[in-house]
Structure 1
Amino acid sequence: MIKSMTGFGKTHFLNEELNFDLEVKTVNSRFLDINVRMPYQLNFLEDKINKLIKKYISRGRVDIFIRSKNKSIGNTAIKVNLDLAKDMGEKLKVIADQAGISKERINLSDILRNEDVLVFEPEELDDDFLATIVLGQLEEVLKELVEMRKEEGKNLHKDLSSNLKDLKENLDKVKDLATDIKQEIKDKLYKSISENIDSKLVDEDRLAAEIVYYADKQDINEEITRLYSHIDQFNKYLEAEGPIGKKLDFISQEMLRETNTIASKSQKIELINTTIEMKTIIEKIKEQVQNIE
């Protein structure tokens, strides 16, 4: 089953020691691109986080946010440097006197601007404890996110199947229109040459060979056969397991290439109009494929 590269998952964890939000967002990308933002206390988990993500996600940009209301992920003790606060208060009064400023304008916030007055010291937490909690929460979020990607994949599967059906129907029209095209080209070339060139000056064998050559150059049966094959292959990959986005992207490019070749060889207005419709459908397919893992 195909999976979209778009997904979202979020959780909040709270106990006596920890309080944090964990959020994962994924969008389409050519490769697996992992970006993690978390409190410095969890930096030792970066490799384990990356390995866990790769267990569930093969392709796409993955943004992970682990946030806490405080700078640290656990409880924080606040220590006050009273000596420094008193000293700052006295110094501010001296400055106010010297500058002719009312002492009433000095307030507590002026002292607290000094980061050394209030010192936030996070509680020391065991690394194994942190790893168990954080990785466990992350795995639950990843499971939720993968389910979302699967649901979006079902919608993509439905749209792609519909577009492939439309493409095949148009290709069937091209095949019908091209049934006698080679003979038509030969007849048209022979008639044009016969009407404009003195038959006494024409080598009939050479003329026949040239007509066959130009008729072969405008024949589109090989392109039609290859395009049918590409459509069948695309349908098979839609039902395959695992990451298939890159393969589908390659096949859609090949489908567009064959369609462009058919269009460049075509002279019938019906054929040209049908190939224009086919290229429009393939462009839709290519856009949809960009979001498949």
Structure 2
Amino acid sequence: MPLQSMTGFARYEGTSGRYRWAWELRSVNGKGLDLRLRLPTGTEHLETDVRKLVAECFSRGNMQINLTVTASEAGLETVVNQAALANVLSLRERLRDVIDPAPLRLDTLLSIRGIVDFREPAEQEGERAARDSDLLSGLRLALADISAMRETEGAALCQVLLGQIETIGILTRQIEADPSRSPQSIAARLAQQVALVMDSGSTVDQDRLYVEVALLAAKADIREEIDRLRTHVTAARDLLTKGGPVGRKLDFLSQEFNRESNTICSKSNAATVTAAGIELKVVIDQFREQVQNLE
């Protein structure tokens, strides 16, 4: 399954009998699948089916789905309020000696509120079932459109993330190969620090000094952090190659990347390693920001 971004838009329109409808879908980043629906009066019963269809297509993203349905005016039927018409005619008869007795014109009657009304005809069960079927079919097509857009965005995002992972790998190898990490360099720095202590004239227990030196050497070793970074680089690259909804897993790896880079910077006793560690943190922050867009 291809990678998907969580950003997308789709609009799909159609007709069903005397109805014209339009689906409009918008999707942005989200920790889970958060769906907000706006269904017009008379279509609320479709909510369960709509949520089911969306859940079958996506696992993450804040989605807004709006449906508009309008009926053709050609299908309106005319309804005459017989009681109101009878009252008007009766009133005219009672006032015939006061007002002009000319016959009432149709346009006059139509201008009197409540005499004539226009309304949609009662919807038949078969007509409603056909409309619902067409609406859900249209939603499936709209979901396919927004899914295609999210996949296109995901493919572009994948290339960006792969480039950032490659940079993390390069910086990790740079730190690993730094001359300051060689046993000779570490030994020389420790010897220099010991010499400073001894030359100060302070009384130092030799055994205690050796223990402290060993502890300092162990704390300065970043071999484990480097190994974990290399493992995380491989895991992240595999996830991107595998595809599918891997955003959560990559977000977790980005946190692990950040943890290891922080430890390297804190343990570093060389300016070159510190500089590479800071650059590593910058790339990891960029990686994590981009990962937030993945499903």
TM-score, L = length of structure 2: 0.80
Q: Using the alignment, how far apart are the partners of 1:76 and 1:211 within structure 2?
A: 93
Calculate percent identity across the aligned residue pairs.
Answer: 33
Q: What does 1:169-208 correspond to in 2, within 5 Å?
A: 169-177=170-178, 180-181=181-182, 183-197=184-198, 201-208=203-210
SS state of the match for residue 42, structure 2? helix
| Alpha-carbon distance, 1:183 to partner | 4.8
Distance 1:200 1:249, change over 3 A: closer
Distance 1:76 1:290, change over 3 A: farther
Q: Using the alignment, how far apart are the partners of 1:117 and 1:215 within structure 2?
A: 96
Q: 1:217 aligns with which of 214, 219, 228?
A: 219
1:140-190: per-residue Cα shift (whole Å, max 9, x none)?
111111111111111001100111111111111111116635553443233
Distance 1:123 1:242, change over 3 A: farther
| Alpha-carbon distance, 1:16 to partner | 3.3
Q: What does 1:106-125 correspond to in 2, within 5 Å?
A: 120-121=119-120, 123-125=122-124
In structure 1, what residue type is equivalent to 2:152?
Answer: E
Aligned pair count?
Answer: 267
1:191-210: per-residue Cα shift (whole Å, max 9, x none)?
22323336894443332221
What runs of 5+ residues in structure 2 fail to find an aligned partner? Answer: 92-111
Q: Using the alignment, how far apart are the partners of 1:76 and 1:162 within structure 2?
A: 61
Q: Using the alignment, how far apart are the partners of 2:287 and 2:77 within structure 1?
A: 57
Q: Using the alignment, how far apart are the partners of 2:202 and 2:59 within structure 1?
A: 71
Pairing 1:68–2:66 present: no
| Alpha-carbon distance, 1:57 to partner | 1.0
Q: Are the counterparts in 2 of residues 7 and 146 from structure 1 also a CA contact under 8 Å?
A: yes
Q: Are the counterparts in 1 of residues 17 and 131 from structure 2 also a CA contact under 8 Å?
A: no
Point out 4+ residue stretches in structure 1 off by more than 6 angstroms: none
Pairing 1:149–2:156 present: no
> 2:288 corresponds to which residue?
286
> 2:262 corresponds to which residue?
260
| Alpha-carbon distance, 1:118 to partner | 5.5
In structure 1, what residue type is equivalent to 2:46?
Answer: L
Moved more, 199-208 or 255-264: 199-208
TM-score, L = length of structure 1: 0.81
Give the RMSD, CA atoms, in angstroms. Answer: 2.9
What runs of 5+ residues in structure 1 fail to find an aligned partner? Answer: 91-110
In structure 1, what residue type is equivalent to 2:123?
Answer: E
Q: Using the alignment, how far apart are the partners of 1:76 and 1:226 within structure 2?
A: 71
Q: 1:227 aligns with which of 226, 229, 234?
A: 229
| Alpha-carbon distance, 1:121 to partner | 4.1
